[in-house]
Structure 1
Amino acid sequence: MINQNPKRSDEPIWWGLFGAGGTWFAMITPITILVLGIMGPLGMLDADALSYDRVAGFATNIIGALFVIATIALPMWHAMHRVHHGMHDLKIHTGVAGKIACYGIASIITALSVIFIFMI
């Protein structure tokens, strides 16, 4: 018999953030590392391209601010979802406390990234 009143789950929210974080980490982070971590230090970019004023201008623009926040927050949601389910796979059943701890850490990092951007 089909349950006509199934219990609502919050898993779609966490899976959505997990998927967004994994996609961001797989597609955007390698390019960011290439440009900022390899091309910049090797002098392949214009000297003014990574000046403080230009980077601060990018980070205070709405598109740049969203990019910086997403670069910090989305992979953190992905990682904390993996930690939460990885603990379950390792037979470390923390229940609701583990869920609150994992997603709470991701929430705090997200909030700190937003605060950091608004303080620039």
Structure 2
Amino acid sequence: MIDLNPKRSDEPVWWSLFGAGGTWFAMVTPVTILVLGIMAPLGMLDVEALSYERAIGFVMSFIGALFTISTLALPMWHAMHRLHHGIHDLKFHTGTTGKIVCYAIAFLVTALAVIFICII
């Protein structure tokens, strides 16, 4: 028998944030680490290119603000979704409470990123 009134799931929302965070973490974060964590300390980049004034100017621009917020928020959504399902796989069935806690932490990091970027 086909259920004519299926229950709506909220999983597509969480899976889209999970996928976006995983993609960002796999494609953008390694380049960011390479440039800021390896090339800059080794002196491969011009000192003026990473000055405070230029960095704050980048973060204050629209594209820079989106980049900074995405770098902080999207991997956190990915990690919290993975943690939520990992806890379930380890047979700790926390139910809706665990889901709310995991996604609330990701939302908090996202909100703080937006607030702090907008304050600058």
TM-score, structure 2 normalization = 0.99
Task: Note the residue ranges of structure 2 that are not aligned, 5 or more in a row.
Answer: none
Tell me which residue corresponds to 1:100: 100
Tell me which residue corresponds to 2:21: 21
Superposed structure 1 runs of 4+ greater than 3 Å apart: none
Q: For residues 111 and 52 of structure 1, what CA distance do their matches in structure 2 show?
A: 24
1:115 aligns with 2:115: yes
Q: For residue 48 of structure 1, what is the amino acid of its counterpart?
A: E
Q: For residue 38 of structure 2, what is the amino acid of its counterpart?
A: I
Task: Note the residue ranges of structure 1 that are not aligned, 5 or more in a row.
Answer: none
Q: CA deviation at 1:2?
A: 1.0
Q: For residues 49 and 37 of structure 1, what CA distance do their matches in structure 2 show?
A: 14
TM-score, structure 1 normalization = 0.99
Tell me which residue corresponds to 1:42: 42
1:36-115 to structure 2, matched below 5 A, reads: 36-115=36-115
Identity over aligned pairs, percent:
73
